Every structure is written in structure tokens, then in C-alpha cells.
Structure 1
Amino acid sequence: MLPLRRLRTSTPDLFQHRLRALGLLEPGPDGAPYWNTGAAYALAPAVALTWLNAADAVHDMCLKAINTIVRERDYAAFGIENAGMIAAIERSWQARETTFLGRMDFSLGADGVPKLLDYEADGPVCLPEASYLQWEWFEAWKAAGGRGGEDQENLVYEKLIAMWKGLRLGGRLCIASGGDADGDGNPLDTAERFTAEYLAETAREVGLDVHLCGIGQVGWDTEALRFTDADDQVLELLVKLYPWHWMERETNADALPLSKTRFLPQAWTRLLADKALLAVLWRMFPDSPYLLPAALEPGMLDMPAVAKPRRGWDGEGVSLPGQPSATDRGPLVWQAHCPLPVLDGVHAAPSVWMVDGEAAGLSFRESNGPVTRIDARFVPHMLLPP
């Protein structure tokens, strides 16, 4: 029996208006809106705690694995060719300021134990939805139905505030989106705009001087040895919504180890977000109940395996057992197949959000197919007694 239920629910009109204003009810590729207003996932508090504990345990294993990789300077599986990037990784690992944000995607084993599928640790999508919007839905749902006693596993906002305070910043901060931006630095992509604006809002709540720009507007000041924003102002901190494995190929990549500008996520996150780490984790921790067998070469697993691009994200280029592997997506990693749970005919993808290296909350996405892609539908959740 699955440790969660998919409930048929209704979303109050007021919150539906909010979702519509944000563009979250626009039809996706399958004709359904991105935010599912007619369903919610329910699980017992003890089950939610099990998933949070699993995520904390996996994150701890990741840190131990990265420590070994950096100590041995064994970067071959990660495809890092830029010497400046390697130097930045090693310097940032020694500093280890914060792990910023991450989303661990899980499936469930036959016994209900969470099994790690991916760690989206460098620009994970649906942060605002998983944080304040999901909570707003929950409050509206309770108020409309007169229900009480339920809860939600969601401390993302609180942990973000604590993280900003812990960084002890005093200078200019910029949040740079990976896509195009307008003249004021506002991201034109909807998902990036939601994330950038939400991060900016939480940072301003603790008094930080926050600005937005596109990654293409970021420059380098050769005298100050700092990166600059769209206004050519030097930055104390640059939060980039842009993958490190893209950034290492940019013009200013050689400046990374010289920079006095702090980065979030830090450069060592390049290793954390690379799916090659799945194989390293399995080699180091084969007895962990939360890991699936994984390998860097085909045919190394004596079980049905899923092929994933090592530097792909959100289902990009994933090939299920029996399907041809995506040969145009760069090097692959093979991971034992652990199908997503299916409820009411849809594939449910549970995730645990990590903030500053700690489990902070749950979110769910679902899709008609067995692979969770960028266009999967977001579904809120609640905690209910078993």
C-alpha cells in the first residue's frame, strides 16, 4: 500500500483568480493547466518525516562524496575542462558557505522507502510554488471548507529567511537569471521570473540590497576583481539562476578563482548537481536504503536501468529500459529503474526541498507519462492522520 493518497479537492475561486493572474492556469502541452486545481496529495506526518530524514541522509552522503572527489581531484566523470572552474570548485569547497537551494526528486521502493532519482541542486524549478503559493492554497482551502487540524510540510520560507541572515551580507546583491531579461533586469521567462522575484523578496525582508539582471548583463571589473550587474555596480554576492556547467564555458570563467564576489550556489555545487554523482554515491554507499544502483557505463547493472544525461535536468533526455539512449545529450549515467508511484492513473513525483543543506518541505508534481519533465503539473499537498 502506498504511503500517500491523491485526493479529489476543489480550489477556492479567490485562489484560482490568483493562479490565473500569475499565468499558472494556462494550458500546458497536454492541454491541462500547470497547477492542478482539482487534486491534492495527502500523507501522514510520520511519512513526511521519513522523506525529510531520507533527504538529510542523502545530502550528508553527497557532502562526503564531494569531499573525496575534491581531495583526490578526480573530476573526469564530471567533464570539467576549464582550469578556472576547477580552481573555483576547490576554493569554494574549502569555504563551504552554504548549499543554497536544492530539490531532491524521489520515487518509492516496494516497501515505501524513498529512493533518490535526482538532486536538482543548481537552479531547481518550482520553488515559489512549493513555498508560498502552496501554503496560500492550503490556507484558502482550509478557510473555504471550514476544516481544521490539517497541516503542510513546508518551512521553505522560514529557512530561506534564516539562510539570508546567516550569510551576513552588507553590500550589493544581484540575482541573475539564465534567460533573456528586459532593460530593468526582470527575467522574461515566467518560471525564472517567479523564482528570481521570490528570492529577491525574501532577501529584502532581511534588509539586503537586491537587484535583478540577466546573466548576459553580468560583467567583470578587472580592478575591483568583482563581478558587476546590469548597472555596472560591483557585487558582494551574485545569485545565479544559470547552471554552472554552462557558466564554466563563458568568457569570464577564468576569472572565477580570482573573484571577490561571492556566489550562490557556490562553485562546488557543479559537482552536486551533476548526475555522475549518482554513480559515485552508489560506489561509496551501496548499503544505503535511499540510493539506487548507478553506473557510468552501460551494461554494468544486472537489472533494468534508466539512462540519464549527466548534465540534464527535469527529465531531459531520459531513456527508460527498452528505449534507445539519447546519444545527443552528452555522457550518460545509468540508474536502476524505480518507477514513480501511480495514483488515479497519473505518475506522482514527490520531492523534498533543501535550503542551506537542510530538508525544508515537500512538493509534488505529476504527469501522464512515467518521466517527470519540466512541464509536469504542480499539485499541492497536506498532512493528514493515517
Structure 2
Amino acid sequence: MRREVGDRRPLWEQIVESQGLGFHRAVAPGYGGRPYWDESAHYTFSMVEVLDLERAVEDLHRMCLTAVEHVIKHKRYAGFAIPEWCWEPIRRSWKRRDPHLIGRFDLCYDGAGHAKLLEYNADTPTSLVEASVVQWFWLKDVYPDADQWNSIHEALISRWRKLCGPGASAHFAWTATDEVGEDALNVAYLEDTAQSAGLRTTAITVEDIGWDTGREAFVDLDGNPIGSLFKLYPWEWLVTDPFGRSAVERQARVPWMEPLWKMLLSNKALLAVLWDMYPGHPNLLPAYLDGPRELGSYVRKPLLGREGASIRIVTPGQTQDTPGEYGAEGYVYQEFWPLPDFDGWHPVLGAWVVGDESAGVGIRETWGLVTDNTSSFLPHRIDT
């Protein structure tokens, strides 16, 4: 694994805009005007490294599914700060094996040691368009004979066909509170892959979903019942909404994606459960719910935090906090594992799982200790 510097394509802004990435110009303070999509550098992997990462990701995915079974069997919901009334519906969702679509493991990896799991974005992962589409066309333009760890697009189409079948209908929802447009972009892309699989689709914001009391059904703006729904809206928000209980009850008839049982995977308490179940596993970091215990250096992460917000990093002689409003739900304490250093830049690998199989990677890069919503996205290639 190495970082290489190169020239941006002429008219690169228009190119990525034509591929759907409208917020590529988002500039982070202190980054010297660096754009969100930055193709002036890229990462290169060997095929051996990619195969090792694929195995690690699929191992982690299997371990996570086993962890769901463990939490449900031993009723460890309280550590996840999940409302008690949701416990039984989660158990039933898992017992039914309500279908799941996609997830993203965030990994620390330098090409030398084992990849370390930082967290799992299992319910509402984003940066999908960049990972699946934009970096693929960058590769074809700049390195047409090279390959990339990226089968996300094909895997999504195949997954939709397996889950729904041609001719089925589904709604796709995002929240209108998304000011940047990232959520809408990701949902539009997923809708496009579903259409490629033969589904009939309808787009709608979460705020526009209605409840028909007479039919006891959720409906769209045309009054059509909403059956299958993909929502880029986290379950922990949904269950606190006025119609949250109705949404949970609805899952017994037509489960939405991601399924209710993924509340146990999108919560950072998962990190402590995994360490408890697989202590010493080479792809895990020590993590606890009751405090840092023996950890001399650690990261305190809110269970439901997002984009690096409300994090505290504690190392000998130094404490660093990131701004945010998360944490009332509780924290997990995970061993601090420094991100690798490539010319002063620190990458995090976002490894995608579609269904139950590894499908590709996207890379976010930061100059600091925490990857957040200001970190740039860089493409990659496989050096054969």
C-alpha cells in the first residue's frame, strides 16, 4: 500500500458532476482549499493486500452477525441504549432474518499489519457514489489497464434481484434536513441500481411519508401504500418519531431496509460486544462500555455518534475533543490506534459489504486524528 501524487484530469469538476457528485467542491477549513473529491493523489494496493482485506471484511461481517445472535440470546440490549419496547421487535426481526442490503466497515490499515476495525456503519452508510461510480471512472480515464477493488455496482444490482425480483416495487426515502445533498445522492444512486435490477421505484423524503389511519398503512404523496422501503434514515431517530411505533409494528408485514435488527450493528456498543466475544482477534481493538479499564490511550466514542463528532481522544499527556451533541446515550471506550501516516496524511478505509460479501473500498483522508465530514475522498487502484 502506498500513496501516489499525480495531476488532476482536465475539467475534472465537470466530469465528477456529470457522474452525480455535486458537492465535490466542499472545502475543509485548514486544508488549504483542498476539495472533497481529491484526485491529485491516490492509493495503490497489491492484489495480495486486497485479497487479505476481503477476507478480513467477510470475517468481520460474519462475526457481527454472530454478535447480533449473542446480544439477542443474552438480552444485552441495555448496553446499546435501545428503548426497551424495541427489544422484542428486534428479536423478531432477527428471527425472521429480515433482509439486509449494505454496510461499510471503517478500517485502519497501512499495508503492513492487520486491518483494525474502527467502527461499522451498518444502517445509513454514505460515500457510496464516490466509492462505486466516481472512482471507477477516474480509474478508466487515468489508468485504463489497471484494476480496482470495486464490484459495488454489480453487487447491488444482483442483491436487489435476489431480494425483490424484477417487477417488484419499492420506495426510497431520505431526509429533507440534509442540506448538502449527500443523503439524496446516495438514495438516488441506490434507486438507480434497483431500477437496473428491474424494480419499479418511487422517491420520497421521510418527512413526506404519511400515515393512513383507516388503512393502517404508510403512504406516499399520491396516497399509494408504502410496502418495501429503503430509508437512509437511522432507526434510532425513527423510533423516537411520533409514528415510530407504527413503523416498528409494520416490520412484521413488510420489513424495511435496513432491517430493524441492524440497530445492534449501527451502534458502537457493538465494538465492546465483539471484543468480549473475540478477545485478541487481530482485526479488533479492545473496547469496553464501563470505562477505559487498562487502556492507557483510548478513544471515547458516543454510541450513536456520526462523522467523528463528540469524540474524546486520550493519550499520555494529551486529551483532544471534537465538537458535537452526541453522548447522552452513553459511550464506548476503544483502544487508540493511530492512523497510518502517508506524507502527513492519514487514510481510513471504508470497506463495503453488499449482502454478505465484500464488494470494494473507498478511502477518506485527514491531516488530523479524526476522520470527519471535512475529510477528502481519494481514489485507489490495484498495482498488478
- Establish whether TM, by shorter chain, passes 0.5: yes
In the alignment, the residues of structure 2 paired with residue 82 and residue 172 of structure 1 have an alpha-carbon distance, to the nearest angstrom, of 33
- State the 1:217 CA deviation: 1.3
What is aligned with 1:277? 270
Instruction: Name the SS of the counterpart of 1:234 in structure 2.
Output: coil
Among residues 4, 9, 21, which one is paired with 1:7 in the alignment? 4
Please tell me the residue identity of whatever aligns with 1:165: R
- Residue 375 of structure 2 is matched in structure 1 by 376
Letter of the 1:358 counterpart: E
Comparing 243-252 with 310-319, greater Cα deviation is found at 310-319
Q: Could you say if the C-alpha distance between residues 74 and 35 of structure 1 is closer, same or farther in structure 2, counting changes exceeding 3 Å?
A: same
In structure 1, give the amino acid aligned to 2:376: R
Structure 1 residue 224: Cα displacement = 4.1
Mapped pair 1:50 → 2:52: yes
Q: In the alignment, what sits opposite 1:230?
A: 221
Deviation at 1:257, TM superposition (A): 4.2
Query: What residue identity is the alignment partner of 1:71?
Result: K
Change (3 A) 1:197 1:299: closer
The CA RMSD measured in Å over matched residues stands at 2.0
What are the within-5 Å matches in structure 2 for residues 130-149 of structure 1? 130-143=131-144, 148=145
- Corresponding position: 1:291 with 2:306: no
Conserved in 1, the CA contact under 8 Å of 2:131 and 2:361? yes
Give the 3-state SS of the residue equivalent to 2:184 in structure 1.
Answer: helix
The Cα offsets for residues 294-330 of structure 1, whole Å up to 9 and x where unpaired, read as: 0002231333111100111231212111326679622
Instruction: Quote the offset at 1:270 in angstroms.
Output: 0.7
SS in 1 for 2:377: strand
Residue identity opposite 2:303 in structure 1: R
SS in structure 1 at match of 2:87:
helix
- Distance in structure 2 (CA, Å) of the matches to 1:312 and 1:223: 37
Q: Does structure 1 residue 175 correspond to structure 2 residue 176? A: no
SS at match of 1:70: helix
Deviations 1:124-151 (A, max 9, x none): 12001000111011111125xxxx3x21
- Equivalent-residue separation in structure 1 for 2:99 and 2:254 (angstroms): 15
CA distance in 2 between partners of 1:246 and 1:234 (Å): 22
Give the corresponding residue for 2:347: 348
Correspondence for 1:63 among 62, 65, 73: 65
Answering whether residue 145 of structure 2 is matched by residue 152 of structure 1, we say: no
Deviates more, 1:230-239 or 1:101-110: 101-110
One-letter amino acid matched to 2:102: L
Match of 2:41 in 1: 39
Is the Cα–Cα contact under 8 Å of residues 301 and 331 in structure 2 kept in the other structure?
A: yes
Task: State the distance in 1 between where 2:221 and 2:343 align.
Answer: 48
Aligned length: 370
1:306 to 299, 323, 341: 299
| Equivalent residue number for residue 202 of structure 1 | 193
The residue number in structure 2 matching 1:96 is 97
**Aligned equivalent of 1:162:** 158
Is 1:248 aligned to residue 239 of structure 2?
yes
TM-score by length of 1: 0.90
C-alpha distance in structure 2 between counterparts of 1:328 and 1:24, whole Å: 27
Structure 1 residue identity aligned to 2:4:
L
1:235 and 1:261 in contact (8 A); partners too: no
User: Relative to 1, partners in 2 of residues 1:198 and 1:109: Cα closer, same or farther, differing over 3 Å?
Assistant: closer
Give a deviation string over 1:333-358, Cα, whole Å, max 9, x none. 00011111110111111121111122
Distance 1:117 1:309 in 2: 13
CA distance in 2, matches of 1:204, 1:299: 47
- Say if 1:105 and 1:216 are closer, same or farther in 2 by CA, change over 3 A: same
Amino acid at match of 2:290: E
Structure 1 pair 25/189, CA: closer, same or farther in 2 (3 Å)?
closer
Q: Structure 2 length as normaliser, TM-score?
A: 0.91
In the other structure, the counterpart of 1:359 is 358
SS in 2 for 1:236: coil
CA contact (8 A) 1:106 1:351 kept: yes
Deviation by residue 1:103-140 (Cα, 9 ceiling, x = unmatched) = 10111379511000010111112001000111011111
Q: 1:216 aligns with which of 193, 207, 212?
A: 207
Find the aligned partners of 2:176 and 2:77 in 1 and give their Cα distance.
28
Q: Aligned-pair distance for 1:89?
A: 1.4
Question: How far apart, CA to CA, are the structure 1 residues paired with 2:200 and 2:49?
Answer: 40
Matched with 1:329 is: 327
CA contact (8 A) 1:177 1:215 kept: yes
What's the CA shift for 1:178?
A: 2.3
Question: Does the aligned pair in 1 maintain the 2:173–2:232 contact within 8 Å?
Answer: yes
Q: Which segments of 5 or more consecutive residues in structure 1 lack a partner in the other structure?
A: 181-186
Classify the secondary structure of the residue corresponding to 1:268: helix
Report the Cα offset of residue 98 of structure 1. 2.9
- Contact 1:43/1:382 (8 A) holds in 2: yes
CA–CA separation in structure 1 for the residues paired with 2:110 and 2:134: 29
The reply to whether residue 264 of structure 1 matches residue 257 of structure 2 is yes
Deviations 1:25-53 (A, max 9, x none): 34233431001120010010110111111
Contact 1:237 1:263 in 2 (8 A): yes
Mapped to 1, the partners of 2:221 and 2:89 lie a distance apart of 23
Q: Secondary structure at the match of 2:319?
A: coil
Q: CA deviation at 1:74?
A: 2.1
